[in-house]
Every structure is written in C-alpha cells, then in structure tokens.
Copies of this chain bind each other. A is one copy, B any other.
C-alpha cells in the first residue's frame, strides 16, 4: 500500500506530534477543574489514545496499539504533566496550540482511515471515513465527558466537518491509488 516509505515516516512523526498535542489539550482542560497530577496523566492518556482505542475495539482489531507499544502511554502521560508545569507559558501560546490541535485532528483522521484500510481493504468508503472520524474526534469527546461537559464536538460544527472532509479526501486518494506521498501533503 505504501509505495513511498517517506510518507509513512512523515505520518508516524506527525502522529507523535498529534498524540502530544491531544494530551496537552487534556491537561489544560484538567487544570481548569483542579485535578491532581494522577488525574491529569490519566486524562491525557485517555484523550490522546481513546480515539484509536474505540476504533480498534469497534473494528475488532487486537491487540490495541498502546498494548503493543506501552511507550505511547508514557509519552502522553509525560506530555500532560509537562503541560501542567509550563501552563503559564502555554496560556500565552493559544494560537500555536490551536494549530497543534488542528494538526492532531487531521493526522488522527488520516491514521484512522489508514488502519481501517489495512484491516480490511474491502470496507466500504463510509466505514473508512467513519473510522477516521472516530479516531480523530472520540478522544476529545471522552475528555469532555470525563470533565462533565457537553462535548465540544457536538457544538462546534468545524471539528466534525474538518474530520469528514479530511477522511473523504484522504480515502479518495487511496481509492484511486494515487501517489501516496503527494496525497498526504495535499490533504493538509
């Protein structure tokens, strides 16, 4: 499926950035509710890895990513803790933060489509796009449920739309067997 391994490496690097960014949004949300350090770590892990976990459970794709690579748990917990420590600086970096969050959403959606395709290439397009959307959005929904909010996803049209468009665009590229690297770049 991957004719150009470069695209794979880029996607892997981006997904580490996305994991970190999602854990940071969780830490900021947790900070507003005066959770302790353990709560921040857990909420960071759940937010960053929850989307992929729900996708894998729904598609029956075992073992889960973080069971195979426990380092992801440490990365996200570490990112969440670090965010608490530098919280004052981050508050001033709101714009950079929104950019990171958007990258996270797009990358997660692409990774979700990828995984769905690898599990079963004959899955219909709708399911691949939904798998991407779940990966991108479910982590944030879990974070909002645990923080006792109505999920942002359901109130901000932008999130879901971006995720669906990304998924459609990326999947179409795969469907047409275009040059992957070019397509990954275009999706942004």
With A58-B57, A160-B42 known as contacts, the answer to whether A67 contacts B154 (CB < 8 A) is no
Instruction: State whether A150 touches B154 (Cβ < 8 A).
Output: no
**A90–B164 alpha-carbon span in the complex (Å):** 29
A135-153 CB mask vs B (1 if < 8 Å, else 0) is 0000001000111111101
Instruction: State whether B64 touches A30 (Cβ < 8 A).
Output: no
A4-37 CB mask vs B (1 if < 8 Å, else 0) is 0000000000000000000000000010011111
Closest to A69 in B: B124
Interface residue SS majority, chain A: helix
Stoichiometry (number of copies): 3
Instruction: State whether A59 touches B63 (Cβ < 8 A).
Output: yes
CB distance from A149 to the nearest CB of B (A): 7
With A33-B150, A127-B67, A150-B146 known as contacts, the answer to whether A38 contacts B157 (CB < 8 A) is yes
Residues of chain A in range 30-82 having any CB-CB distance to chain B below 8 Å: 30, 33-40, 42-43, 53, 57-60, 62-64, 67, 70, 73-74
Give me the interface of A with B, judged by CB distance under 8 Å.
30, 33-40, 42-43, 53, 57-60, 62-64, 67, 70, 73-74, 123-124, 126-127, 130, 141, 145-151, 153-157, 159-161, 164
